[in-house]
């Protein structure tokens, strides 16, 4: 199985090279698709300067359109069998790819979510952020009739053929509830596995905030009630 690792990047000059090295150290046949979403902090110049490599594709978005738009640009270039979504901020550890892909390799799952709330080690941080995540997951579960513990997780791993079965349209963080609603309706077999989580606070560059949580409620309703 070949992995297609799609990495949306926005203003991560301090972490993107370390993340790329960690991904390359994983023991899988893979392609790495880095999508810069209009970075303004020097990340874009770093990516432009990367040496050409058979395992790496760099896509430069014309401007900041959001995580969902960056992911769609990456998905359009996927050639592997399994797609892994990876953030560039080092909160999620590529060393856990083995656990994430195993239910798919065992033909038990079509989609695997890496859950930050299933006993994996994690940095103690931001109580109200975790409450918000759990509340959004609960609301999503009410409509999808799934029992996920972490709908908003970055780590969503899935068979590449699923991209031909669903149509994604959200440009920003609405991708998470949209993807969850659509794989549920598509009848995908979904597993969760515990992952570690090395969260950042806002002083360290965390981007998602309370406004994104309010927007997520809208997107949950939009993609479950108004299809």
- Cα angle vertex 213, ends 158, 84, to 5°? 15
Q: Among the listed ranges 27-31, 63-67, 123-127, 151-155, which one has the minimum average pLDDT value?
A: 123-127
Give the model confidence (pLDDT) of 104-131 as tens digits. Answer: 999 999 999 999 999 766 666 667 677 8
**At 113, phi and psi to the nearest 5?**
-105, 135
Percent of the chain with pLDDT over 90: 83
First-to-final CA distance of the chain:
33
Question: What is the pLDDT confidence band of residue 8, given thresholds at 50, 70 and 90?
Answer: very high
Rounded to an integer, the average pLDDT of 141-156 is: 97
Characterize the bridge pairing of strands 30-36 and 82-85. Answer: unpaired
pLDDT of residue 31: 98
Instruction: Map 182-209 to HEC letters.
Output: HHHHCCCCEEEEECCECCCCHHHCCCCC
Taken in order of first residue, the domains within the chain and their CATH numbers are 3-225 (3.90.550.10)
Percent of the chain with pLDDT over 70: 91
Per the structure block, which two tokens stand in for 24?
Answer: 């390359």
pLDDT of residue 147: 97
Average model confidence (pLDDT) for the chain? 93
**Spatial CA neighbour of 72 closest among 54, 59, 63, 81:** 59
Rounded to an integer, what distance in angstroms lies between the CA atom of residue 156 and that of residue 97? 11
Give yes or no for residue 146 having a pLDDT over 80: yes
**Spatial CA neighbour of 110 closest among 183, 1, 164, 4:** 183
Rounded to an integer, what distance in angstroms lies between the CA atom of residue 127 and that of residue 132? 9
Sign of the CA dihedral running 92, 93, 94, 97: negative
Rounded to an integer, the average pLDDT of 4-16 is: 97
pLDDT of residue 54: 95
Give the model confidence (pLDDT) of 159-177 as tens digits. Answer: 999 999 999 999 998 999 9
3-class state of residue 114 by DSSP? strand
> Helix 127-144 and helix 175-185: axis angle, to 10°?
30
Partnered with residue 85 across adjacent β-strands are: 6
The residue count of the chain comes to 227
**Is the backbone of residue 30 left (phi > 0), alpha (psi -120 to 50) or beta?**
beta
Rounded to an integer, what distance in angstroms lies between the CA atom of residue 204 and that of residue 207? 9
pLDDT of residue 213: 81
Question: What is the pLDDT confidence band of residue 140, given thresholds at 50, 70 and 90?
Answer: very high
pLDDT of residue 149: 96
Rounded to an integer, the average pLDDT of 85-92 is: 96
Rounded to an integer, the average pLDDT of 138-143 is: 98
Give the model confidence (pLDDT) of 187-226 as tens digits. Answer: 999 999 999 998 756 565 555 666 778 999 999 999 999 8
pLDDT of residue 131: 86
């Amino acid at each position: 199985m070949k992995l297609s690792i799609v990495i949306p990047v926005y203003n991560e000059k301090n972490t993107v090279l370390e993340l790329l090295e960690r991904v390359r150290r994983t023991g899988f046949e893979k392609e790495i698709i880095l999508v810069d979403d209009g970075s303004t902090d020097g990340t874009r110049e770093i990516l432009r300067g990367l040496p050409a490599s058979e395992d790496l594709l760099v896509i430069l978005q014309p401007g900041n359109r959001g995580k969902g738009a960056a992911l769609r640009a990456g998905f359009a270039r996927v050639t592997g069998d399994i797609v892994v979504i990876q953030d560039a901020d080092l909160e999620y550890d590529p060393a856990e790819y083995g656990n994430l892909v195993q239910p798919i390799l065992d033909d038990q799952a079509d989609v695997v979510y890496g859950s930050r709330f299933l006993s994996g080690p994690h940095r103690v941080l931001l109580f109200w952020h975790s409450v918000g995540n759990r509340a959004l997951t609960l609301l999503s579960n009410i409509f999808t009739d799934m029992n996920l513990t972490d709908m908003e997780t970055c780590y969503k791993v899935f068979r590449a053929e699923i991209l031909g079965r669903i149509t994604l349209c959200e440009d920003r963080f609405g991708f998470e509830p949209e993807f969850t609603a659509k794989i549920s309706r598509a009848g995908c077999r979904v597993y969760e596995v515990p992952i570690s989580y090395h969260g950042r606070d806002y002083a360290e560059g965390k981007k998602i905030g309370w406004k994104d949580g309010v927007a997520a409620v809208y997107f949950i309703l939009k993609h479950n009630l108004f299809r």
